[in-house]
């Protein structure tokens, strides 16, 4: 990968419009471990109760239980989609500024496209063509609230992350050929563990994962290379890190995702300051021990560089 080209300060500055959309890919871990609590979202009693239920019978806990990682991640994803729609809306018109793909991976090595009207072979859909979301009513703090759902929580089975990245690479290969003069694609991979569809403890498996990730990042438009952001949800007793310069120690999944995440381009790094984030030059597009707040910040960084015209 040619870093001087991919990360030049002159790159990542293309304005987006109807004829020059931006591609965004969300890769969502939907493995069984996503039924665990996302501790920063729950109080201590809720966390302990959920862990007790999981220990007794994991099937008793639904994926859409509000205390689980899967439910919270689905909420954040749906909120992000809503914000993309709002930012693309002028008057009564939603303009096709973004081409969106949301890919889930879990189950028995299942990789699926999660947006209605898409498939794993053709996962992209223009933001103005999204199907109407499902409306779900919930009681929150004694008040009835309506939730818009394009993506529903799911948690089962394994973590076929390698397969999901492979499908993303294939989809993006076609997209960049057709949109060579657009803002570069952005990929967000959000997970709570290591891939299970290859052995990253083996040097060949590790190298294969790195090679695939580098292949994704090498896909480029005239404005720069594809950006790969990674967020690892974890309760391991190691300090959290956001956009680090140095590879985390003591966790093989963290080390792998750090190495395979993009370096944050200068344009986006500077833009991140507008939302209160201070990121060192050369920092990676990676969050270790991501919580909901830091994940929202990461999603915002990924779209800060886009400008409308």
Q: What is the CATH number of the domain that holds 160?
A: 3.40.50.410
Predicted structure pTM score:
0.93
Neighbours of 220 (CB within 10 A): 18
Number of independent structural domains in the chain:
1
Burial call 55-80: b when 16+ CB within 10 Å, e when fewer: eeeeeebebbbebbbbbbbbbbbbeb
pLDDT in tens, 70-127: 999 999 999 999 999 999 999 999 999 999 999 999 999 999 999 999 999 999 999 9
**Backbone CA torsion sign across 285, 290, 296, 297:** negative
Neighbours of 291 (CB within 10 A): 17
Instruction: Write the DSSP symbol of residue 61.
Output: S
Percent of the chain residues past pLDDT 90, beyond the cut: 73
Q: Find the domain containing 238 and state its range.
A: 3-308
pLDDT in tens, 252-270: 999 999 999 999 998 888 8
Neighbour-count burial of 204, counting CB atoms closer than 10 A to its CB (0-12 exposed, 13-18 middle, 19+ buried): exposed
């Amino acid at each position: 990968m040619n870093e001087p080209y991919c990360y030049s300060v002159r790159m990542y500055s293309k304005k987006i419009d109807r004829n020059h959309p931006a591609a965004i890919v969300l890769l969502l871990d939907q493995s069984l471990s996503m039924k665990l609590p996302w501790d920063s979202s729950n109080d201590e009693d809720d966390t302990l109760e959920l862990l007790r239920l999981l220990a007794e019978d994991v099937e008793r806990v639904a994926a859409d239980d509000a205390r689980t990682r899967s439910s919270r991640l689905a909420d954040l994803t749906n909120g992000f989609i809503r914000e993309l729609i709002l930012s693309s809306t002028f008057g009564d018109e939603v303009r096709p500024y973004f081409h969106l793909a949301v890919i889930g991976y879990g189950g028995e090595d299942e990789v699926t496209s999660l947006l209605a009207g898409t498939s794993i072979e053709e996962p992209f859909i223009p933001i103005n063509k999204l199907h109407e979301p499902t409306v779900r009513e919930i009681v929150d703090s004694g008040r009835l609230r309506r939730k818009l759902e394009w993506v529903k929580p799911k948690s089962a089975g394994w973590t076929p992350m390698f397969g999901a990245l492979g499908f993303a690479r294939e989809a993006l290969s076609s997209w960049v050929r057709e949109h060579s003069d657009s803002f570069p694609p952005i990929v967000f991979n959000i997970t709570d563990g290591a891939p299970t569809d290859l052995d990253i403890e083996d040097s060949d498996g590790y190298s294969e994962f790195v090679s695939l990730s580098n292949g994704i990042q090498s896909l480029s438009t005239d404005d720069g290379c594809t950006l790969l952001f990674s967020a690892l949800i974890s309760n391991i007793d190691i300090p959290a890190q956001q956009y680090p310069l140095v590879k985390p120690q003591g966790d093989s999944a963290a080390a792998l995702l750090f190495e395979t995440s993009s370096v944050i381009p200068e344009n986006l790094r500077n833009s991140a300051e507008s939302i209160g984030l201070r990121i060192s030059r050369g920092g990676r597009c990676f969050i270790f021990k991501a919580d909901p707040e830091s994940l929202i910040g990461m999603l915002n960084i990924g779209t800060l560089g886009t400008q409308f015209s």
